[in-house]
Structure 1
Amino acid sequence: MFRSKLLWRLYIGFATILFISTVIVGITLSRQLSENTLEEIQNSLSVRSEMLSEIAEDFFLTRPDSNFSAVTQDTVVRLGRATNTRLTVITPEGWVIADSEEQPAVMDNHSQRPEIIEARDSGIGTASRFSQTQQQMSMYRAIPVMKNQQLLGFVRAAVPLTTVDQQLAQLQRLILLSASIVAIAALLLGLYFVNRVTGPLRSMTEAAEAISKGDYNRRIEVVDRDEIGSLAAAFNRMARRSAQRMDDITRDRNRLSSIFAGMVEGVVDVDEDQKIVHINQVAAELLGLSINGSIGKSLWEEVRVTEIITALEQTLETQKVVNTQMRRPSNEDDQVVNIYAAALQHEQGDSIGAVIVLNNISKLDQLERIRRDFVANASHELKTPITAIRGLTETILDDEKMAADIRQGFMEKVHAQSIRLSSLVTDLMTISRLESDHQDKSVHAFDLGELVRRSMADCTALSQEKQLQTELSLPDSAMIINGDAQAISQLVDNLIDNAIKYTENGGTVSVKLEKENNTAKFTVEDSGIGINPQDQQRIFERFYRVDKARSRELGGTGLGLSIVKNIAEEHDGNVTVASNPGMGSTFTITLPLNQKQSQAY
C-alpha cells in the first residue's frame, strides 16, 4: 500500500491543502481572537473608567481635604486590586491625586501623557505604551470628569499588556493544539479515504500487469458501487472478454499452425520488412533452413533463390499475386517448385507483408517427363513393326510376279513383326493392368519354388542353344507366398529370359531362391554384358534400353524390367540390381512370405 505513487501523490496533495487551510484558519482565528480580546479589554477599561469617574466626581466637587484624599486613595487601591486594573485620578493640571499601583506624591505630572492629551481634546483617550512607573507595556484609557461643562479632572484605567499577551498566547496554544488534533484526525481519515480510492486502482494495476504477462484469470474484487467500483467491474468484464478472445486467438493460431504443419506445400510468411514471421517444415526442408533459426531474419539473407526473392519483391510492389517456377538441376531428377506469392493487407488496405507458397512438383514433373517419353517411345515402338509390316505387304501386293521363295521370306518377316507387335501390345496391357487401381487381383498362396522350377524348365531350350551353364538353387521345403501366381510367373520369366538373352554364348546363369528375414529372396545372376552405374537406376523405366540396337535385335520391348518392378511392388516387395560392365549383373527380388510359413520357419 505505502509503495503506491498515486496514493502518496493524492495524500501529499490532501495534506498540503489541509496544512494551508489549517494555517489560514489558525491565523485568521488567532487574529480575530486578538481583536476580540483587545476589544473586550477596551470595553472593560471603559466600564471601569466610567465607574471611577463617578467616584472621582464627588471628590472633585467636595474640594477634598487630606482625610478625604486618603479615603479616595484607599478606595482606588481597593478597586484596582479587585478588578486587576490600575486606576488613576488626575487633576486638570495633570497631578495624580490617587493611583492604585503607586503613591501619588512620587508620581510625575501626567498632563503630557498621550491618553490624557487625547481625552482633553476628544473626550476619550487610549494608548498602548511603556509605563515608566511599572516598567512594562500597558494599555490605557482616560476620560475627563465633567460637571456642567466644566472640567473637574481626569480618570484613567490601565491593564498590563503582558496579561493580554499571556491570554492571547494561551488562546493561540489552544488554537494550535485544536488545529493539530483536527489535522492529525483529518490526515488519518484522509489516508483511509485515499487508500479506499487508490486500493482498487492499485488492484487494477496489478491485474493489468498480470494480464500483460498472460494471466487472463486475474480479477478485481468489487467492494463499492461508486465510479471506482464501476471501473473495476468494467475491468473485470474486459479481462473476461480478453481471456475469451485470447483463447480464440490461441485456438485459431494452433489450428493454423496445425494446418501449416500438415500442408504438403511449403509456406513462408514475411512481414512488410521481408522478415520471416512463420515457416513450416516443408518450406524449411525445400530451402535448407532451420525453422527456429530463420524466424525474424530477412528472407533475402536466408534464401539464395533468385526466383523467390524476385516474386516477393514483385508482389510487395504491385500488391498482386505472382506465379513463377524454379528449377534446380541435379544428377538424378531436377527439383521443380512452383512459387506462389501473394501480398497481405490490413482492412484499411495497408501492406502487412506477404505469404509465399512453395509447391514441390518434382514428382509430377518427373511423371510428366516419363509420360511424354512413354508416349514418344510407345509411338516409336509401335510404328516400327507397323511400318515394316506395311512396307512388306505393299511390296508383295505391288509385285504379282514375285518369286515364291522371296514371297515366303517376306511373309515370314511380316509374321515376325506381327509377333513383335503382339508382344509389345501385351506388355503395354500388362503395364496398364499393374498400374490400374481397379484391377481384379487373383491372390492366393502358392509355392514360389515350384514356379521358379517351371520357368527354368521353359528356358532350357534357349539356354542350351546358347550353350549356357545354368545353376538352380531351391530350398528343400516349399516357399509359400501370397499373391498373383500369373504375375509372379511373368516376373520370374522376364528376369531369367533377360539373363539368358544378355549373356554371351558359353556364359553362366545362376538362379537362387532362399529365405531371408521372413522374406523370399529370389536372385538371378549372369555373366553377361553388365550395366553401367548411370543406367542402373533408369533400366526400370518403360522403354529404357541400355543398348537399343542389341535390345531390338534380341526382340526386347523395353518394358520387361518395368513390369518386373511393378509386380514386385504390387506384392509389397522390391527389386535391386548390382552390376559392373563386362562382368555380368545380379537382380534380386524380395517378397514377403506367407504368414503361417514365416512363423513355421
Structure 2
Amino acid sequence: MSTSRFFWRIFLTHVALIVLCTVGLSLTVVRGYRQMIEERFQSEVKTIADVLTDNARAVLLDQTAPQPSDEFFRIAAARDNQHHLFNADRILIASSVNESERDQILISNAFDQLNDQRASIEITINSRTRGPYELLLRELRHDGKILGYLQIEASREKIQDQLQNLSGITWAIVFAVCCVGVALSMIVVSRITRPVEELTRASQAIASGQWSQKVPVNTKDELGSLAEAFNEMSREMVSYINELQNQGQQLRANSERLATVLGGMVEGVIAVDSAERILFANKAAFKMIEFEGQRVVGRPYWEVLRNTDVQSVVREVLSGQFQRKREIVLPRNQSRIAFIASRLPGEPCPGVVLVLHDVTELRRLEQIRSEFVSNVGHELKTPLAAIQACTETLLDGAIEDPKHAHHFLAQITEHGDRLHKLIIDLMELAKIESEEDAFHLENIDIGIPIQEAIDEHYPVAHGKQISLITNPTIDELLVKADHDGIRTIINNLIDNALNYTPTGGEIKIGWKASEGNVVIEISDSGIGIEPRHLERIFERFYRVDTARARAAGGTGLGLAIVKHLCNYFSGSISVRSELNQGSTFTLRFPQVEEPNRLSTH
C-alpha cells in the first residue's frame, strides 16, 4: 500500500466520485422503479374499480343484496383486495370481508374527505393503521343521482416486498460496484502515481547529490514521455555536472596557483569588490599595512587603509576610471607606499585591484643617489676650480715669476692627485658593486694582508707621532677572501684612524678567532663620532666634519668601499664610538678550517 499523499489524494477522489455516482444512480433507479410500481398498482386498482362500478350500479338499481355467486364477489375473490359497496345513505350493503373485520371509522373518514373535495367523485387514501394498503372510494351515479359508493382497499404488502427486494438487490449491486470501482481505481491510480513517485524519488536523490538516476519507462503515454525526458535530462545533467566539476577543479587549481603566485609576490595585492569590501589580500599587503595576523577579508578597505587618497582613488576607479596611481605615507611607520588601482573587467564595475609597492627604500636610495651625484659634483668641482684658477693665474703672467709659478704648479699637482685618487676610489667602488670577477676568492691567512697594511702605515704614524699598537694571534686564521681586498679594507680603516687621531694618540689593531669567525678590531683615540652620524658613515661621500675631512685629503668613499668589500667577502662591519673618546671598528669574517685539520677531526 502506497504511503504517497499524492496517491491517496487521487485515490480517495476517485473513490468518492465512484461512490457518489453509484449511489446517486442507484437512488434514481430505485425511485423510478418505485414510481413505476406505484403507478402500475394504482392503475390496476382503478381498472378493477372500473370493472366493479358497472356491476355495483346494477346491484344498487335492483336494490337487491348481491349474492356470493354474483360478479361482484367473483371479482373480489379473484383479487387480494377488500371491496365494499355502500348505498346512498352510506350503509354497507355488500363486502368481501366478514362483518367483524369491517372498519366503519375508516369508511366515515373517507366519506368526510370525499365531501371536503366536493367536485371530486373519487379519493385515494394511504393508511398504515391496519397495515400498508390503499383505499379507493368512488361515487356511483345514475342520471345525476347518487346511487351509492364503491370502496376498494388494496393491500400494498406485495408492493413493499417488491420494493424491499429491489432495495436489497440495488444496495448489493452498489456495494459490489463500489468494491470493483475501488479496486480498479487503486490499480489505475497506482499506474498513474507510481511513475510520479519514481520521478520524485529520483529527483530527491539528485537533490541529495546522487546525480546519475534513471526511472523505468513502462508506458507509451505522457508519463512514459516524461520518464524518457527525465532520463535524458539526468544523462545531460550528469555530463554537464562532470564538465562543471572538471572546470571547477581547473579553476581551483588555477586559483591555488594564482594565490601561490600572489602570495609569493613582493608587491602587495588587495582586491576590493563593488561594495568596497576586501576580497583578497596577500601576505605582502598584510606586512605593508601592518595588519598581519588579523582578519581583513570581508572588511571595508577603508577600515584597513585609513587614507583619504586611497579612498578617493578607489571610488574614482569604481565610478568609471580605468586606472589610477598614487603614493601615500603610512603614519604608523612613515613608510612610503606607491599603489596602482585598476578596475576589474565587467559592467557595472565588479571591483578594484590595488597593487602596493613599498618604495621607502627606493626613495631612500634615490635620495642617496641624488646626494651622491651632488657630492661627486662638489668633490670634483673644488679641485677643478682650484686647478682652473691656478692655470688662469699662470697664463696671466705668473708663469714668468719662478717663485709663484712653482707654488701654482704645486697646487695643480696636489689637486690633480686628489682628482686621480677620487676617480680611482670611484672605479674601485664600481668594481666591487658589479660583482663580476671583481676579486679572486681563495683561502688566505688573514694575518698576512693585515700585517702588510700595518707595515705600510708605520712611517705615516711615526711622522704624526701616533702609536700603532698591534695585538696579533700566532694562529693561522683562514678566510675565503681576496688578499688585496682585505689589505684595501685595513688600509682604509687605518687611513681613517690616522686622519682623525690627533698627535700623541694611539691606534690599536688586533685580530683573533671567535665562535667560528675571524674578528678584527681597529680602535683609535681620536675625536670620535656623534651617535646621530653612526648610521650614515658608510654612505658614499658622507662626512662627519667636511672641512677637516677635506683638509685630511679624504675622498669620502673609504668607509663605503670597506662596507662593500666586507659584504662581498660574506663579512660584516660595525662601529662603536663616543665623541672625543675615539672609535672602534669591528670586522667579522667566516673562518675556514684547514683541509688537513678537517681530515684529522
What range is the shorter-chain TM-score in?
0.7 to 0.9
Aligned match of 1:223: 215
- Residue 227 of structure 1, CA deviation: 1.8
Q: Which amino acid in 2 is paired with 1:478?
A: E
Alignment of 1:343-354 (within 5 A): 343-346=343-346, 349-354=347-352
Aligned match of 1:284: 286
- Residue 55 of structure 1, CA deviation: 12
Q: Secondary structure of the equivalent of 1:534?
A: helix
Aligned match of 2:24: 28
- Residue 310 of structure 1, CA deviation: 2.0
Aligned match of 2:358: 360
Aligned match of 1:84: none
Aligned match of 1:267: 269
Aligned match of 1:194: 193
Q: Supply the distance in 1 between the matched residues of 2:585 and 2:123 (Cα, whole angstroms).
A: 145
* Structure 1 unaligned residues grouped into runs of 5+: 78-86, 144-150, 211-216
Residues 458-512 of structure 1 show CA distances to partners (whole Å, capped at 9, x for unaligned) of: 1111222233333323332211122222222211211222122222222232222
Classify 1:89/1:250 alpha carbon distance in 2 versus 1 (closer, same or farther; 3 Å). farther
- Residue 311 of structure 1, CA deviation: 1.3
- Residue 37 of structure 1, CA deviation: 3.9
Q: Which amino acid in 1 is paired with 2:170?
A: L
Q: Secondary structure of the equivalent of 2:509?
A: strand
- Residue 435 of structure 1, CA deviation: 1.1
Q: Which amino acid in 1 is paired with 2:488?
A: Q
- Residue 547 of structure 1, CA deviation: 1.0
Alpha-carbon RMSD? 4.4
Q: Give the one of 377, 380, 383 matched to 1:382.
A: 380
Classify 1:227/1:555 alpha carbon distance in 2 versus 1 (closer, same or farther; 3 Å). same
Which stretch of structure 1 is more off in the superposition, 170-179 or 512-521? 170-179
Q: Supply the distance in 2 between the matched residues of 1:330 and 1:110 (Cα, whole angstroms).
A: 128
Residues 358-378 of structure 1 show CA distances to partners (whole Å, capped at 9, x for unaligned) of: 222222222222222222211
Classify 1:64/1:329 alpha carbon distance in 2 versus 1 (closer, same or farther; 3 Å). closer
- Residue 563 of structure 1, CA deviation: 0.8
Preserved CA contact (<8 Å) 1:343 1:354: yes
Aligned match of 1:341: 341
- Residue 40 of structure 1, CA deviation: 6.6
Preserved CA contact (<8 Å) 1:92 1:154: no
| 1:311 is aligned to 2:313 | yes
Aligned match of 1:548: 546
Q: Which amino acid in 2 is paired with 1:322?
A: R
Alignment of 1:96-175 (within 5 A): 98=96, 129-134=126-131, 136=132, 158-159=156-157, 163=161, 164-165=163-164, 167-168=166-167, 171-172=170-171, 175=174
* Structure 2 unaligned residues grouped into runs of 5+: 60-64, 139-148, 218-224
Q: Give the one of 242, 245, 265 matched to 1:243.
A: 245
Aligned match of 1:418: 416
Q: Supply the distance in 1 between the matched residues of 2:474 and 2:135 (Cα, whole angstroms).
A: 154
- Residue 25 of structure 1, CA deviation: 0.9
- Residue 562 of structure 1, CA deviation: 0.8
Q: Supply the distance in 2 between the matched residues of 1:521 and 1:467 (Cα, whole angstroms).
A: 27
Q: Supply the distance in 1 between the matched residues of 2:13 and 2:277 (Cα, whole angstroms).
A: 56
Classify 1:461/1:140 alpha carbon distance in 2 versus 1 (closer, same or farther; 3 Å). farther
Q: Secondary structure of the equivalent of 1:356?
A: strand
TM-score normalised over the length of structure 1: 0.79
Aligned match of 1:453: 451
- Residue 429 of structure 1, CA deviation: 0.4
Aligned match of 1:576: 574
Q: Which amino acid in 2 is paired with 1:311?
A: V
| 1:474 is aligned to 2:437 | no
Q: Give the one of 484, 489, 492 matched to 1:491.
A: 489
Q: Which amino acid in 1 is paired with 2:297?
A: I
Preserved CA contact (<8 Å) 1:468 1:505: yes
Q: Supply the distance in 1 between the matched residues of 2:212 and 2:85 (Cα, whole angstroms).
A: 88
Preserved CA contact (<8 Å) 1:280 1:291: no
Classify 1:105/1:400 alpha carbon distance in 2 versus 1 (closer, same or farther; 3 Å). closer
Q: Supply the distance in 2 between the matched residues of 1:464 and 1:103 (Cα, whole angstroms).
A: 184
Aligned match of 1:464: 462
Q: Supply the distance in 2 between the matched residues of 1:235 and 1:141 (Cα, whole angstroms).
A: 85
- Report how many aligned residue pairs link the two structures: 564
Classify 1:578/1:126 alpha carbon distance in 2 versus 1 (closer, same or farther; 3 Å). farther
Q: Supply the distance in 2 between the matched residues of 1:20 and 1:441 (Cα, whole angstroms).
A: 108
Q: Supply the distance in 2 between the matched residues of 1:90 and 1:580 (Cα, whole angstroms).
A: 163
Which stretch of structure 1 is more off in the superposition, 270-279 or 421-430? 270-279
Q: Supply the distance in 2 between the matched residues of 1:482 and 1:503 (Cα, whole angstroms).
A: 32
Q: Which amino acid in 2 is paired with 1:530?
A: G
Q: Which amino acid in 1 is paired with 2:318?
A: L
Q: Supply the distance in 2 between the matched residues of 1:177 and 1:292 (Cα, whole angstroms).
A: 80
Q: Which amino acid in 2 is paired with 1:133?
A: R
Q: Supply the distance in 2 between the matched residues of 1:515 and 1:67 (Cα, whole angstroms).
A: 170
Residues 557-595 of structure 1 show CA distances to partners (whole Å, capped at 9, x for unaligned) of: 111111111111112222222222222222122222335
| 1:537 is aligned to 2:535 | yes
| 1:559 is aligned to 2:557 | yes
Q: Secondary structure of the equivalent of 2:287?
A: helix
Classify 1:549/1:132 alpha carbon distance in 2 versus 1 (closer, same or farther; 3 Å). same
- Residue 219 of structure 1, CA deviation: 1.3
Preserved CA contact (<8 Å) 2:439 2:485: no
- Residue 174 of structure 1, CA deviation: 5.1
Aligned match of 1:83: none
Classify 1:185/1:451 alpha carbon distance in 2 versus 1 (closer, same or farther; 3 Å). farther
Q: Supply the distance in 1 between the matched residues of 2:340 and 2:123 (Cα, whole angstroms).
A: 109
Preserved CA contact (<8 Å) 2:538 2:559: yes
- Residue 551 of structure 1, CA deviation: 1.1
Q: Which amino acid in 1 is paired with 2:229?
A: S
Q: Supply the distance in 2 between the matched residues of 1:128 and 1:259 (Cα, whole angstroms).
A: 111
Q: Supply the distance in 2 between the matched residues of 1:140 and 1:32 (Cα, whole angstroms).
A: 28
Classify 1:154/1:70 alpha carbon distance in 2 versus 1 (closer, same or farther; 3 Å). closer
Q: Secondary structure of the equivalent of 1:420?
A: helix
Q: Secondary structure of the equivalent of 2:295?
A: helix
Q: Supply the distance in 2 between the matched residues of 1:343 and 1:315 (Cα, whole angstroms).
A: 6
Aligned match of 1:213: none
- Residue 274 of structure 1, CA deviation: 1.6
Aligned match of 1:147: none
Aligned match of 1:394: 392
Classify 1:284/1:182 alpha carbon distance in 2 versus 1 (closer, same or farther; 3 Å). same
Q: Supply the distance in 1 between the matched residues of 2:84 and 2:531 (Cα, whole angstroms).
A: 153
Preserved CA contact (<8 Å) 1:323 1:339: yes
Q: Supply the distance in 1 between the matched residues of 2:239 and 2:337 (Cα, whole angstroms).
A: 50
Q: Give the one of 492, 499, 502 matched to 1:501.
A: 499
Aligned match of 1:258: 260
Q: Secondary structure of the equivalent of 1:428?
A: helix
Classify 1:596/1:159 alpha carbon distance in 2 versus 1 (closer, same or farther; 3 Å). farther
- Residue 552 of structure 1, CA deviation: 1.0
- Residue 457 of structure 1, CA deviation: 1.2
Preserved CA contact (<8 Å) 1:218 1:239: no
Q: Which amino acid in 2 is paired with 1:573?
A: G
Aligned match of 2:142: none
Q: Supply the distance in 1 between the matched residues of 2:246 and 2:211 (Cα, whole angstroms).
A: 14
Preserved CA contact (<8 Å) 2:432 2:438: no
Q: Which amino acid in 2 is paired with 1:222?
A: K
Q: Supply the distance in 2 between the matched residues of 1:293 and 1:102 (Cα, whole angstroms).
A: 120
